[in-house]
Amino acid sequence: MNKILEKNLFQNRDHNHQACISEALDTANKICSAHEARFTPIRRRILELIWKSHEPVLAYDLLRILRREKDNTEPPTVYRSLDFLMEYNLIHKIESLNAYVGCSYAHRPHIGQFLICTECNQFVEIDSSKISKTILTEARQSGFEVASQTVEIYGQCPKCR
Amino acid sequence: MNKILEKNLFQNRDHNHQACISEALDTANKICSAHEARFTPIRRRILELIWKSHEPVLAYDLLRILRREKDNTEPPTVYRSLDFLMEYNLIHKIESLNAYVGCSYAHRPHIGQFLICTECNQFVEIDSSKISKTILTEARQSGFEVASQTVEIYGQCPKCR
DNA sequence: TTTTGATATGTTATATAATAACGTTTTTAC
DNA sequence: GTAAAAACGTTATTATATAACATATCAAAA
Ligand SMILES: [Zn+2]
Ligand SMILES: [Zn+2]
Ligand SMILES: [Zn+2]
Ligand SMILES: [Zn+2]
């Protein structure tokens, strides 16, 4: 394969990650406004924490962090915000990890797939219509009408190979 | 699409399901023998219970059933057998449901995908090389080397449409 | 600007999923 | 028969998620 054609979506250690966070929060703000949904401080903080890294985050890790900031925080506080953020496609759940990630395509409709590196734990969300369409077509071969797809791909990212 | 070309893998209510179970147990027996792995009564019973339906089964549902048969059964008994059965590809875990299903291709290497009906809960495992290859190719576009894939597809099966 | 309904958050309790650690039994190999 | 390995029993705990109800906040209507 032509190296030049590779679009490496994995982030370098030295990228401007504050920009990733800012953009995510900004997008979230716009989307919530557009839907007249309230982007409350807790929801905002949880989204910010999820974007703190490019790795999937566990709900109870979020809980631990929030408890340091406000000691009466309980699981429902976290899960409610996670549910809200998922409802508006601002985050996704990685089912095979019970972990949550920021959505990279929140500003537009998409059917995401996740590449998760087993070495460094970094992930990227891709939106491959080739994958989603192939799944649609192949499922139809069995007379199955697809409503949603969970595609979680494990392996080694470019840096870790 | 040509209806005739559809290969509907979903089972009718009146199919000979005892044959499904027998075949699965039989295949398991052979595979365990070939690997000099012990197909113990507990492991056999759990595989049988998983094959009792064409629906994903929860670990604690298995536990409840086993407890009726032997009241000192505890979670590790179930999970150990599930781990064993997964190791030899006799069952798979549906990550998005925390549930377990019998493998339909245990006798040969495969990369399965799951079609799960949200109406009747029935599933089928397909082994589409189109899907698995597309995932491989698309991941490589991002410089990612695939080691494993989780593909869980939700929607409506032919009967429920 | 109070009332009121809706939404969000606080709080307590519990359900569900899975594993750690260690002891005992069973199986297999020698 | 004995020893090592594998399987299973047992107790405890960790991890993930939700139910149910109380209180607080917000926003629209009166
Ligand atoms: Zn970044
Ligand atoms: Zn997304
Ligand atoms: Zn059957
Ligand atoms: Zn399979």
**pLDDT tens digits, residue range A25-75?**
999 999 999 999 999 999 999 999 999 999 999 999 999 999 999 999 999
Asked whether the beta carbons of residue B130 and residue A138 sit closer than 8 angstroms, the reply is yes
pLDDT class for A9, splitting at 50, 70, 90?
confident
Chain A window 6-65, residues with Cβ within 7 A of nucleic strand C = 37-38, 40-43
Give the Å distance between the CA of A102 and the centre of ligand 2.
7
pTM of the model: 0.94
Please tell me the predicted confidence (pLDDT) of residue B6. Answer: 66
| Confidence (pLDDT) at B1 | 47
Contact assessment for residue B90 and residue B105, using Cβ atoms and an 8 Å cutoff: no
Domains of chain A: 9-155 (1.10.10.10)
DSSP codes, B49-113 = HHTTSSS-EEHHHHHHHHHHHSTT--HHHHHHHHHHHHHTTSEEEETTTTEEEE-S-TTS----E
Per the model's pLDDT, the better-predicted residue between B5 and A16 turns out to be: A16
pLDDT in tens, B111-137: 999 999 999 999 999 999 999 999 999
Task: Give yes or no for residue B84 having a pLDDT over 80.
Answer: yes
Ion ligand 1: residues, CB within 5 A, are A 11, 17, 20
The pLDDT of residue B111:
97
The mean per-residue pLDDT over the stretch B78-85 comes to 98
